[in-house]
C-alpha cells in the first residue's frame, strides 16, 4: 500500500482586487461593524483564503444588528451560517473586537468632549 506523502498545498489567498471589493462591501450602516470588520481586514486581509473571503461575504449578508451580535459573541451562527469556515472567521474577528470597540469608544468620547 502506497501512502501519499506529498505536502498539502497552502490555501489559495484572495487577490488585491477581491480584498478591495470585500473592504467596500464591509462598509456598514453601524459604526461598530465598520470598525470591527475594517480592523480585521487591516490585520488579516492579506492572509485571507478564498474560503475565508466566502465566509466573510456570507456574514456581510446579515443585517447590521445581527452581525454585531455575532461579532461580539452575543449570539451563535445558525442555519446557513453554522459552518466551520464562518465560525473560524468569527473567532478571528472576535480576537481583537473588544479592544477595537474600547478604542472606538475612547475616540468618540474625546471627539464629543472637544
Which pTM was predicted?
A: 0.76
Task: Kindly write down the DSSP assignment for every residue of 9-64, as one continuous string.
Answer: PPPPBP-HHHHHHHHHHT--SSHHHHHHHHHHHHHHGGG-BHHHHHHHHHHHTS-H
Summarize pLDDT for 55-110 with one digit per residue, the tens.
999 999 999 999 999 998 889 999 999 999 999 999 998 776 556 666 666 666 67
Residue bearing the bigger pLDDT, 89 or 114: 89
Three cell numbers, residue 15: 487577490
Tell the CATH topology of 16-113.
Answer: DNA polymerase; domain 1 (1.10.150)
Rounded Cα–Cα distance for residues 105 and 96 (Å)? 14
Which residue shows C-alpha cell 447590521? 64
Distance CA 91, CA 87 (A): 6
Amino acid at each position: 500500500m502506497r501512502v501519499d506523502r506529498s505536502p498539502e498545498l497552502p490555501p489559495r489567498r484572495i487577490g488585491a482586487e477581491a480584498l478591495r471589493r470585500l473592504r467596500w462591501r464591509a462598509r456598514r450602516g453601524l459604526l461598530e461593524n465598520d470598525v470591527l470588520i475594517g480592523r480585521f481586514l487591516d490585520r488579516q486581509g492579506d492572509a485571507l483564503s478564498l474560503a475565508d473571503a466566502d465566509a466573510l461575504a456570507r456574514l456581510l449578508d446579515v443585517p447590521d444588528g445581527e452581525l454585531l451580535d455575532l461579532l461580539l459573541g452575543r449570539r451563535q451562527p445558525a442555519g446557513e451560517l453554522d459552518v466551520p469556515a464562518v465560525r473560524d472567521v468569527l473567532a478571528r474577528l472576535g480576537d481583537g473586537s473588544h479592544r477595537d470597540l474600547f478604542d472606538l469608544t475612547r475616540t468618540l468620547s474625546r471627539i464629543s468632549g472637544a
